Structure 1
Amino acid sequence: MDVARLAEGLHEHTAGFATAVARADPDTSVPTCPEWPLRVLVGHIGQAHRWAAGIVRSGPSPVPDPLDADPGFTEEWSGWLHEGAADLADAVLVADESPVWTFFGPRPATFWLRRMLHDTTVHHADAALATGTEFEVAPDLAADAISEWLEILSDPVTPSMRPAFAELRGTGQTLQLRPDTGPGWLITRTPDGVRWARATGTADATLAGPLRDLLLVFTRRLPASRVTITGDRDLADHWLAHTAA
Structure 2
Amino acid sequence: MDTARLAEGLREQTAGFARAVCGGDPDTRVPTCPEWRLRDLAGHIGHAHRWTAELVREAAAAPIAAPAADDPGPQDTWERWLADGAREVIDAVQEAPAGARVWSSMGPTPPVFWLRRMLGDTVIHHYDAAATTGASFDVAEDLAADVISEGMGLLAEPSAVEFKPELAELRGRGETIVIRPDSGQGWVITRTPDGIRCDRGGGDGDVVVSGSVTELMLVFTRRVPPGNVTGDRALLDHWLAHTAF
Scaled to the shorter chain, the TM-score interval is: over 0.9
| Residue 72 (structure 1) aligns with | 73
Contact 2:176 2:190 in 1 (8 A): yes
SS at 1:175's partner residue? strand
> Which residue in the other structure is 1:153 paired with?
155
Residues of 2 paired with 1:28 and 1:176: CA distance?
36
CA distance in 2, matches of 1:85, 1:70: 17
| Partner residue, 2:63 | 61
Q: Is the 8 A contact 2:49 2:118 kept in 1?
A: yes
- Indicate yes or no: 2:214 matched with 1:180: no
In the alignment, which residue of structure 1 is the partner of 2:105? 103
Equivalent residue, structure 2, for 1:93: 94
- Structure 2 match to 1:24: 24
Question: Which structure 1 residue ranges, 4+ long, deviate > 3 Å from structure 2?
Answer: 60-63
Deviations 1:95-128 (A, max 9, x none): 1552111111111110000000011000101111
Report the equivalent of 2:85.
84
Supply the AA of the counterpart residue of 1:15: A
Q: Secondary structure at the match of 1:135?
A: coil
Q: Quote the residue 2:38 is aligned against.
A: 38
Q: Which amino acid aligns with 2:194?
A: D
TM-score, normalised on structure 1?
0.96
Contact 1:205 1:229 in 2 (8 A): yes
2:170 maps to 1:168? yes
Q: Say if 1:230 and 1:54 are closer, same or farther in 2 by CA, change over 3 A.
A: same
- Contact 2:23–2:135 at 8 Å: present in 1 too? no
Paired with 2:166 and 2:77, the residues of 1 have a C-alpha distance of 38
CA distance in 1, matches of 2:153, 2:189: 11
Find 1:204's aligned residue among 183, 206, 218: 206
Q: Which moved more, 1:114-123 or 1:15-24?
A: 15-24
Measured in 1, the distance between the counterparts of 2:111 and 2:234 equals: 39
C-alpha displacement of 1:32: 0.8
Partner AA of 2:89 in structure 1? L
* CA-atom RMSD in angstroms: 1.2
Q: Secondary structure at the match of 2:204?
A: coil
CA drift of 1:64 comes to 2.6
TM-score by length of 2: 0.96
Q: Kindly tell me: are residues 26 and 102 of structure 1, through their superposed partners in 2, closer, same or farther at Cα, counting changes over 3 Å?
A: same
Aligned residue in 2 for 1:11? 11
- Listed as ranges, the matches of 1:126-137 within 5 Å are 126-137=128-139
Q: Does 1:119 align with 2:121?
A: yes
Matched residues in 1 for 2:178 and 2:65: separation?
33
Looking at structure 2, the residues matched to 24 and 214 of structure 1 have their Cα atoms a distance apart, in angstroms, of 27
Instruction: Name the SS of the counterpart of 1:107 in structure 2.
Output: coil
- Judge conservation of contact 1:23–1:75 (CA < 8 Å) in 2: no
| Number of aligned positions between the proteins | 242
- Mark the CA change 1:63 to 1:134 in structure 2 (over 3 Å): closer, same or farther: farther
Kindly tell me: are residues 23 and 179 of structure 1, through their superposed partners in 2, closer, same or farther at Cα, counting changes over 3 Å? closer
Q: Distance in 2 between matches of 1:69 and 1:56?
A: 20
Percent identical among aligned pairs is: 56
Amino acid of the structure 2 residue aligned with 1:86 = R
Give the whole-Å Cα distance in 1 for the aligned partners of 2:23 and 2:140: 25
CA distance in 2, matches of 1:36, 1:22: 15
Following TM superposition, by how much is the alpha carbon of 1:171 offset from its aligned partner in structure 2, in angstroms? 1.2
For residues 14 and 164 of structure 1, the distance between their equivalents in structure 2, rounded to whole angstroms, comes to 31
Relative to 1, partners in 2 of residues 1:24 and 1:96: Cα closer, same or farther, differing over 3 Å? farther
What letter corresponds to residue 40 of structure 2 in structure 1?
V
